[in-house]
Amino acid sequence: MSDNNPDSSQTHNLIMSASIVFILAYVCLIWLLGPRLSEVPHLPDQGAGWYFWKLSEPTMWGRITAWGGYLLHQLANFLIIYRAQQLSVRPVESGGIRYSNQPHLLNLIALVVNAVFVILHLIQTHLWYDGLAQDTHVFSSLVSVAVLLIWVLLMETPRRGLFFGVKVPIQTEVLSFAKKYHGYYFSWAIIYTFWFHPTEATPGHLWGFFYLLLIILQGCLFFTRIHTNRYWTLILEVLVLIHAVVVARLQGSGIWPMFAFGFGSIFVITQMHGLGWSRMKRGVILVFYLTALLLVYRERGFSKVNEVLRIPVIDYLGVLSLTVLFWGWLRLLRTMKQQ
C-alpha cells in the first residue's frame, strides 16, 4: 500500500485512536478496581526515599510474577526492536521498513504484545499485588525516566538546539549512536518503571500509568510518521510536568513549584524552539512563564526561587554527561578495533 494512499493515513489514524481509547479504558479500569486493593497491608510511611505501595510481608509468588512478567515483557520488546533494526537496513523491495503513514506488521505485533502484558500486570496486581518496588529502590524508577527525558534532549539538539534555539556542537557519530540505541534504553526505562508500581488507583498512579502507556505506545510506532511528529513528541515530553506536579501536591511536600517551573524552564529554554513558532509567539510564552514565576514566588518567598534551577541544571548537565559517555564509548570501540 503506497504511503501516499489515503487509506494509509486512515489506517494509521484508526490505530492511534484505538490505542488512545485502550489507554484511557485501562486507566479507568485501574480506577474502578482500585477499592479492591484498599485492604492490602502496607508498612507505615518512612519518609523520603520510601515507597509505600508494597506488601508489608513480601510473598514468593508476588516476586515471581512481578519479575517474571517484567522480564518476559522486556525480552519481547527487545526482540521487536532488534527485528525492526534488522528490517530498517534492508531495501524496501526486500521487505525493509521506512518511515511512512502505513503501519508495518511489526507495529501491530508490538501493540498487541504490549497490550497483553499491561493487562497481565493489572491482573498480577490484584492477585499478588507486589511490583518490582519490593526489591528495588524508588529512585531507580525516577532516575530511569529522568535519563530517558535527558536522552531526548540530546537527540533533538539538531532540530531545536539546546538553549533558545542555539545549536550546540555535538558530534554526528554521538547523535547517530544515541538515535540507533535509544529504543533499547527507552524500552528498559519505561517497562521497568511500569512493573515497578502495582496498579493502584491513587491520582499519582493513574497519571503515571497514563503517561507510561503513552510512551509505550510511542515505542510501538517506530517507522511511522507519528513517531517523529514534533507536536506528538513534545506532548510526551511536557506531560512529565503535569505528572510531577500532581504527585508533589498529593504528597503535600510543598515543592510543586520546583517541578512546575523547573520543567517549565526546560520548555521555554529548549522545547518550544524548533516548532516553527514565531519569535513573538515564543516571546509571549516566555513573558507568561516569567509572570507566573514572579507571582508564585512573591508569595512563596524569593529566597526559594533557586529551586527552579535544580531540574534544568540536572537536565543540561545530564545532556553533557551522556554526550561525554557516548563519545568515550565510541572512542574506546574505535581504539579496540585498531589494535
Mean pLDDT over all residues of the chain? 90
Count of beta carbons in the 10 Å neighbourhood of residue 115: 18
Mean per-residue pLDDT, 195-200: 96
pLDDT higher than threshold 60 for residue 2: no
pLDDT tens figures, 79-118: 999 998 888 766 555 555 667 777 888 999 999 999 999 9
pLDDT for 4 equals 53
pLDDT for 186 equals 96
pLDDT for 95 equals 54
Residue 78 carries which side chain, given as an amino acid letter?
A: F
pLDDT tens figures, 8-50: 567 778 888 999 999 999 999 999 999 999 889 988 878 777 8
Mean per-residue pLDDT, 256-277: 93
pLDDT tens figures, 229-246: 899 999 999 999 988 898
Domain ranges of the chain: 17-338
CA distance 182 to 177: 8
DSSP β-bridge partners for residue 163: 166
Long-range (24+ apart) CB contacts under 8 A made by 8-15 are 8/100, 8/101, 8/102, 9/101, 11/102, 11/103, 12/101, 12/102, 12/103, 12/224, 12/225, 12/226, 15/103, 15/107, 15/108, 15/111
Among 120-134, 158-172, 175-189, which stretch is predicted with the lowest mean pLDDT?
158-172
pLDDT higher than threshold 90 for residue 255: no
pLDDT higher than threshold 70 for residue 5: no
Check if the beta carbon of residue 226 is closer than 8 Å to that of residue 16. Answer: yes
Among 12-16, 133-137, 217-221, which stretch is predicted with the lowest mean pLDDT?
12-16
